[in-house]
Chain A
Amino acid sequence: MNDVRCVINITDLSVEELDKLMDLADDIIADPVKYSEKCKGKKLATLFFEPSTRTRLSFESAMMELGGNVLGFSTADSSSAAKGESVSDTIRTVGCYADIIAMRHPKEGAPTVASLKTTVPIINAGDGGHYHPTQTLTDLLTIRRERGAIGDFTIGLCGDLQFGRTVHSLIYALLRYENIKYVLISPDELRVPDYVRDELNEAGVEWKEVERMEDVMPELDILYMTRVQRERFFNEEDYIRLKDSYILDMDKLKTAKSDLSILHPLPRVNEISVTVDDDPRACYFRQVLNGKYIRMALILTLLGLGQKGEDR
């Protein structure tokens, strides 16, 4: 590994660094003008070897709001990867053009390979089903802004907990904070993998697994929704029996706390009824906005421009 600071996994950041990033994001939100030219003359390369409109636009928007410029590609077809160039070579080349790189790749570990050769900071914008640290940063910032602090709450994580990388990352990140109870809501087939269960046990936190959202709704302070895909079920009968348990609607929210925070990494399909969108407890569109601010904070920090409270 070389000395260039990269963020490949959420655990690359200490709790102190996470808190500093969130403080900076809060400061940007409070006074965006102060940061509007911080990255003037700097360039962000968005290297998207697989398409992801949402994440790419979030990064590009973040850099633009910092007064910087953006270059890059949005599919592997439009990059030299289509000609067979290695990730390492692409990164070394792009390092000659840009000051910082946000990279998404369909293969797991590609950003780690890139980080070994890079001359500029790299942010992993998702590598297959592996890591997606800026989504977790987004989730943490949203929790902190909605609840005031990260800790002293019960979080329900609902949906596909077996394959959902956002859920695993969020659990790993939250385990470093105090006094959080975990309620894992999923069909039996889609429970968290053993290695996540091991982490929960090792951390000695309070956690439980349930099948139905309705059964635990009154306990929850945060509900983190993810999508349950039909093709994940072993049989149609189970899918039909359980699918409604994983669709959040106003009826299910009747027993929920009045200050519940509903999060979702998006995109959603039908797991949250659109009737919930106007409820003040729905945080998922504010979460999208937080994603841009935390990416601004991360870009500033990795470029060494992250000192909070400085004037332009």
Chain B
Amino acid sequence: MNVDGVNNGIVLDHIQAGKSMEIYRILRLDKLTCSVAVIQNAVSEKYGKKDIIKIDENIDINLDVLGYIDPNITVNRVIDGKLSKKEHLELPEVVTDIIKCKNPRCITSVEQEIVHKFRLADREKRIYRCIYCDAEHK
């Protein structure tokens, strides 16, 4: 399968197979007017299978969101057809308004305007806790 290369834009590589549409949705890539290619189940030497997203424009990307969804993603920035920057992600210390607290006793369950925020409590176990009620996000 052939998909055109990116001239000036971003390639999100090493996305866990099956996660690309979630990222497409969360990054709101449907709102872009440039070319966007989503490649699913591409062959990966490292992981066996992977997804790739190619965006033909250098847009601002919330790396915290990406890092939370899949810290193994590589962000390749391309300028004039050449790789100008390769960014490796990690789990962000804080995630804001990406996930919601599910604890029915949490203040966020009754006050809709509160920004849902989670802090990284255990990097190894990937545990995030609500900054208000400390409930673990599952």
Contacts and interface: CB of A to CB of B under 8 A. Distances in A.
Interface of A: 86-87, 105, 107-110, 112-113, 127-130
Contacts of A105: 107
B133 interface: yes
A112 to B, nearest CB: 5
B134 interface: yes
B114 interface: yes
Contacts of B58: none
A129 B121 CA distance: 20
Given A108-B135, A110-B132, A127-B107, 19 more contacts: A86-B111, A86-B113, A87-B111, A105-B107, A107-B105, A107-B107, A107-B133, A108-B133, A108-B134, A109-B107, A109-B130, A110-B107, A112-B132, A113-B107, A113-B111, A113-B114, A113-B132, A129-B105, A130-B133
Contacts of B113: 86
B131 A112 contact: yes
B44 interface: no
B3 interface: no
A109 to B, nearest CB: 3
A136 B69 CA distance: 38
Nearest to B114: A113
Interface of B: 103, 105-111, 113-114, 130-135
A108 B136 CA distance: 13
A128 B133 CA distance: 10
Q: Which of B107, B110, B132 has the most CB of A within 10 A?
A: B107
A127 B110 CA distance: 14
A122 to B, nearest CB: 14
Contacts of A87: 107, 111
A105 B135 CA distance: 17
Nearest to A112: B132
B104 to A, nearest CB: 10
Contact of B134 (A86, A107, A110, A130): A130
Contacts of B110: 107
9 contacts: A86-B111, A107-B105, A107-B106, A107-B109, A108-B105, A108-B107, A112-B131, A113-B111, A130-B134
A127 B113 CA distance: 19
A300 to B, nearest CB: 28
Nearest to A195: B136
B96 to A, nearest CB: 13
Contacts of A127: 107
A104 to B, nearest CB: 13
Contacts of A109: 106-108, 130-134
Contacts of B133: 107-109, 130
Contacts of B105: 107-108, 128-130
A127 B105 CA distance: 10
Contacts of B108: 109
A252 to B, nearest CB: 35
A164 to B, nearest CB: 16
B110 to A, nearest CB: 6
Nearest to B109: A107
A128 B106 CA distance: 9
